[in-house]
Every structure is written in structure tokens, then in C-alpha cells.
Structure 1
Amino acid sequence: MAGDAIDTAGESPCQSCGACCSYSENWPRFTIEDDAQLDLIPAQFVNARQSGMRCEGDRCSALSGKIGEATRCVVYAVRPEVCRTCQPGDAECAMARRRHGLPLIASAPPD
């Protein structure tokens, strides 16, 4: 598998990916956020049930750009916890990148 992974030492691959933000309409859900944190997310990006981010198909509405080329989160500073915990090279990242046909990311070794 190592031959199929890209090395990202010293750089964040997230801004040229976006796969995790376009994996499932059920993924960008709210879990441990309190009301004050949720109030910071602009209403147009929250789904009708107020249980997670609004999606267009499987893509989070707060994702801007083209998957696998150049992307950014327009609510990055106030994004939900589930978005904060997804890290380059982790299991969720790998699953999303596979779905979009992107090479896997070699995760950093633990400190």
C-alpha cells in the first residue's frame, strides 16, 4: 500500500482534496457542539433538521472548489467537531479519498 500513498510531510493536502467534505450527506453531523457553537455557523449551511451541515447531494454546502484540485471550507473557523477530527491519512480520509479515486495519504507517525 505504501507505493499507492502520497507523502505529505510539511504540507496539508486538505486544500487540494475536499473528499471528506463530499463523502456523504449524513457525515457532516453535529455531535458534541453546544448551542453557542452551532449559532456561529451561518444558517444557510445548516440542514433543515438542524442536525448537521446542509449538503447538495453528498457534498457539504460549505465546501468551495473542485474535489481533488483546490478546495476550501467557507466556515472553517466555526466548522463542526466531526470536521475538526478528520485528519489527513486517517481511516475516514482514506475512505473518502478512495471513493473519489484519489491516492491515499501516508499518515504521520505518532510522536
Structure 2
Amino acid sequence: METSDPAFDAEALCQSCGACCAYSSNWPRFTTEDDAALDLIPEQFVNTKLSGMRCDGERCCALSGQIGVKTACGIYAVRPEVCRTCMPGDPECAMARRRYGLPALVRFPAS
């Protein structure tokens, strides 16, 4: 799915969902970030192993709001790469939405 598709407003979809941010405490991990990028993430959101985001249960501590209703990322501008690559409607999104009983996002072809 292309996020530039006018049928999808990725930011609006994510702000009304948040399921990917509460799917697993192992998911919001650091992967390809360099030290400079990691230094931008506020210390209170980094786990004790320095390997990813701190979570409360399965939910990333940077996430606020109610899953499936209205959510926001407290560090959106400096979020980890794994968070940047999850896109509305992709397999990871669908898996997380299923966990919360939310319908899959389906892109209909333009007419």
C-alpha cells in the first residue's frame, strides 16, 4: 500500500488506532538507528536494556490515548525506525488490529 494514496490518510488512521504500539513489548525495538538518533529519544521512554522502547505490559510508554479510538505518540518526530516502517494496512498493522478486534484496513482500487 502506498501511503501517498489519497484514499488513505496514514496519520489520521494511526491516530485513531495505535494497535501496533500496543501489540508487543518486543516490537518497539531499536534496529538501524544510529547513536545520534537514539540520543533524541527521551530517556524515560527507553527500556533498561537500551534495546528499545519502555513498555507498560505490551504497550509502548510513549503512546497515549485509547486503542482503536484516539491515540498519539509522545515522541512521533523521533520514534524508532521500526515504528516508521509500520504502515496502515500492511501485514504488521493487520496483525496488531486483529489482536484488538479492529477490522483490517482495506484499500479499494480507484475507480
TM norm structure 2: 0.88
Whole-Å Cα distance in 2 between the matches of residues 24 and 59 of structure 1? Answer: 7
Question: CA contact under 8 A between 2:16 and 2:68: conserved in structure 1?
Answer: yes
Gaps of 5+ in 1: 1-7
- Aligned residue in 2 for 1:14: 14
- Aligned residue in 2 for 1:24: 24
Aligned length, in residue pairs: 102
Superposition pairs for residues 24-43 of structure 1, below 5 Å?
24-43=24-43
Whole-Å Cα distance in 2 between the matches of residues 94 and 38 of structure 1? Answer: 28
Runs of 4+ in 1 over 4 A off after TM superposition: none
Q: Which has the higher strand share?
A: 1
Q: Which amino acid aligns with 2:74?
A: V
Question: CA contact under 8 A between 1:20 and 1:92: conserved in structure 2?
Answer: yes
In structure 2, the residue corresponding to 1:65 is in which secondary structure?
strand
Q: Classify 1:108/1:32 alpha carbon distance in 2 versus 1 (closer, same or farther; 3 Å).
A: farther
Q: Percent identity?
A: 71
- Aligned residue in 2 for 1:3: none
Whole-Å Cα distance in 2 between the matches of residues 100 and 60 of structure 1? Answer: 15
Superposition pairs for residues 1-111 of structure 1, below 5 Å?
9-12=7-10, 13-107=13-107
TM norm structure 1: 0.88
Residue 9 of structure 1, CA deviation: 1.5
Q: Which amino acid aligns with 2:9?
A: E
In structure 2, the residue corresponding to 1:105 is in which secondary structure?
coil
In structure 1, the residue corresponding to 2:44 is in which secondary structure?
helix
